[in-house]
Structure 1
Amino acid sequence: MVRRPLIIDCDPGVDDAIALLLALASPDEFDLLGITTVAGNVPLHLTQYNARRIGQLAQRWEVPIYAGCPRPILRAPVTAEHVHGQTGLDGATLPEPTQPLLPQHAVDFLIHQCKVAPAPITLATLGPLTNLAVALVQAPEIAQTIDHVVTMGGALGRGNVTPSAEFNLYADPHAARIVVEAGLNLTLIPLDVTHQVITTPERLAALESLGTPVGQAAAGLLRYYGQREGEGNGVAGAPLHDPCVIAYLLNPDLFSGRPMHLAIETDSPLCLGRTVANPHPTESTPANATILEAVHGDGVYRLLTERLARL
């Protein structure tokens, strides 16, 4: 099997942490070149620290971790401690990282890797798109060397931070617009999909029954997260937002979607960060993204539980 060169850009955050564990548990599929962090669910000093804590938990110390942009391109910072807790990873006791944060800026790392990697890179973006947008502004030629960008973000229906917008794209809508308009091979996984993958009590018990530090930590994080994210959205547990990106890269047959024309609202205060998706592209508004619409929730959770058992 040829391993996919992968960079994960994230803002851990509970669901980012579960996504990182799923990727770190899949070394046969992913050549994980690095993890880059951005301000989002919590400020940058916590997102980089949390990524290193997850690497320590998974005992994958060889994966380099870089800190990136500390704020959105234009708008004021938005965070989500009310969902993820003050540390971003409340609900579990995690090890202190021994792996140092590398000094190179995440944007510089992204640009360099896109230019020197022997094979085109896949980017899994799990938070605000600030790092990737700034990289595309500094070095627009890297758009031609990126194989695929898979993004968790947006909503075809109701948002989760405003009625119009999902958190990742609302947190930096101008960055999202730059990425969407860059001519990338882009797949978007919106809330409409991730809300189909719910951490039910039975699925949570399966993680706990692994009897490992990783299983216990994942269950603790998701239990805490579900009390806030689940209740806030009227569902029986935490939706698995960001892990859907990694699950899609591991098994795209679990998902279905179609090409659409995607645009990001950046001008309206009322609809800031709204994803406007047209399932009927035209010559003037051609398809520029594959937008997923459905997922096999049981299949995603089976994949997650099976992979985390390896750590």
Structure 2
Amino acid sequence: MKKIIIDTDPGIDDAMAILLADASDAIDLIGITTTFGNASIENSTRNALYLKDKFSLKAIVAQGANTPLVLPASPPATVVHGDNGLGNIVIPTEQQNQAVSQTAHDYIINSVKAHPHEITLVAIGRLTNLALALNKSPEIASLVKEVIIMGGAFGFNGHSGNLTPFAEANVYGDPHAADIVVSADWPVTMVGLDVTQQSIMTNAYINKLKCKSPKYGAFISEISAFYAHFYHADLGLDGFYVHDSSAIVYAIAPEIFTTERGNIRVVTEGVATGHTLFKQSDRLFPIDEWSNHPKQTICTNVDSEALLNLYMNSLT
């Protein structure tokens, strides 16, 4: 089984990704670190603890950053995820479990050092916690097995941004952190809008999941109703894109994705803030702020049917 820590801002699609990790025989979910984004840091942490209580998750929960490294924080994405981050379902005011005392980035550092070359970090929110971990303990880069990021957009399949015309929300939310993380000398795979917007969970799919999955189906149907309503109102979709769960699917079955290797940078200021740029060429240009960065992997296509089947089969 693959040991993973999910860095997350739950978030409806985050919750669905966490439950996929819990259900999968291929994954040992040892930790959940929280960040701001879809919800405030307080709501993100409460939601993670609520999932831990409700589904008896063994994962440690550690609370993380509540502001970006440099820029002011954007408001929570309540229009997409509801005021409480989970589609405004009723959540108990008190949780049975509590977050550990150490910060998220310290938990990441300590876990990676305790399990060298074993832990995959799956980041499905802002990348602030990972950047803080690298800044405090750069040596973890050589000890992490892999970093999988749901974030970015590189223009494949016509997908270039969802918060701005050229920026994906997780990267835009802390572009300085994103640039640090993709520039570090550890193996990164970015599962961006190029592939996440190729897969859609329709309303019929969710209804089928509700019927077939006694443990998870009714809960996912309940939280995703708000999410589906947003996508229908905003884009006219029947259902919603499979963003965060795609990163977990990559951890389980990378063979269903098409990938490319190259250098990545993130624009950190100006009108293109949050834009992810991918250099495919090995040519050294006269001015080249890519060439001294390690090559990383981006996903450029996905077998959507296989992805949706894997999610359904894992939870049922």
TM-score bracket for this pair, using the shorter chain length: over 0.9
Q: TM-score, normalised by structure 1?
A: 0.92
User: What is the distance in 1 between the residues matched to 2:312 and 2:276?
Assistant: 31
Report what 1:59 is aligned to. 56
Report what 1:174 is aligned to. 176
The CA deviation at 1:230 is: 4.8
Residue identity in the other structure for 2:230: R
SS in 2 for 1:146: coil
Report what 1:153 is aligned to. 151
Alignment of 1:209-288 (within 5 A): 209-210=211-212, 212-268=214-270, 270-283=271-284, 285-286=290-291, 288=295
The CA deviation at 1:279 is: 2.8
Residue identity in the other structure for 2:26: E
The CA deviation at 1:259 is: 0.6
SS in 2 for 1:209: helix
Stretches of structure 1 lacking an aligned partner (at least 5 in a row): none
Q: Would the aligned equivalents of 1:154 and 1:168 in 2 still touch at CA under 8 Å?
A: yes
Q: Would the aligned equivalents of 2:116 and 2:144 in 1 still touch at CA under 8 Å?
A: no
The CA deviation at 1:117 is: 1.1
Residue identity in the other structure for 1:40: G
The CA deviation at 1:211 is: 5.5
Q: Deviations over 1:243-273 (max 9, x none)?
A: 00111111112211111221100122x1111
Pairing 1:291–2:291 present: no
Residue identity in the other structure for 1:180: V
The CA deviation at 1:92 is: 4.2
User: What is the distance in 1 between the residues matched to 2:280 and 2:69?
Assistant: 29
Q: Once superposed, what is the RMSD of the aligned Cα atoms? A: 1.7
SS in 1 for 2:241: coil
User: What is the distance in 1 between the residues matched to 2:153 and 2:234?
Assistant: 16
Residue from 294, 297, 314 that aligns with 1:307: 314
Residues matched between the structures, number:
304
Stretches of structure 2 lacking an aligned partner (at least 5 in a row): none
Identity %: 35
Are the structure 2 counterparts of residues 230 and 276 from structure 1 closer, same or farther at C-alpha, using a change threshold of 3 Å?
A: farther
The CA deviation at 1:120 is: 3.0
User: What is the distance in 1 between the residues matched to 2:262 and 2:42?
Assistant: 36
The CA deviation at 1:297 is: 1.5
Between 103-112 and 280-289, report the one with greater CA deviation.
Answer: 280-289
Q: Would the aligned equivalents of 1:130 and 1:172 in 2 still touch at CA under 8 Å?
A: yes
Between 196-205 and 10-19, report the one with greater CA deviation.
Answer: 196-205
User: What is the distance in 1 between the residues matched to 2:23 and 2:213?
Assistant: 16
Q: Would the aligned equivalents of 1:91 and 1:223 in 2 still touch at CA under 8 Å?
A: no
Report what 1:131 is aligned to. 129
Residue from 34, 47, 51 that aligns with 1:50: 47
Q: Would the aligned equivalents of 1:187 and 1:291 in 2 still touch at CA under 8 Å?
A: yes
SS in 2 for 1:263: strand
The CA deviation at 1:93 is: 4.5
Q: TM-score, normalised by structure 2?
A: 0.91
Are the structure 2 counterparts of residues 138 and 195 from structure 1 closer, same or farther at C-alpha, using a change threshold of 3 Å?
A: same
User: What is the distance in 2 between the residues matched to 1:87 and 1:265?
Assistant: 30
Q: Would the aligned equivalents of 2:210 and 2:221 in 1 still touch at CA under 8 Å?
A: yes
Q: Would the aligned equivalents of 1:230 and 1:239 in 2 still touch at CA under 8 Å?
A: no
The CA deviation at 1:220 is: 2.1
Are the structure 2 counterparts of residues 235 and 192 from structure 1 closer, same or farther at C-alpha, using a change threshold of 3 Å?
A: farther
Q: Would the aligned equivalents of 2:22 and 2:28 in 1 still touch at CA under 8 Å?
A: no
User: What is the distance in 1 between the residues matched to 2:61 and 2:297?
Assistant: 29
Are the structure 2 counterparts of residues 160 and 233 from structure 1 closer, same or farther at C-alpha, using a change threshold of 3 Å?
A: farther
Q: Would the aligned equivalents of 2:266 and 2:274 in 1 still touch at CA under 8 Å?
A: yes
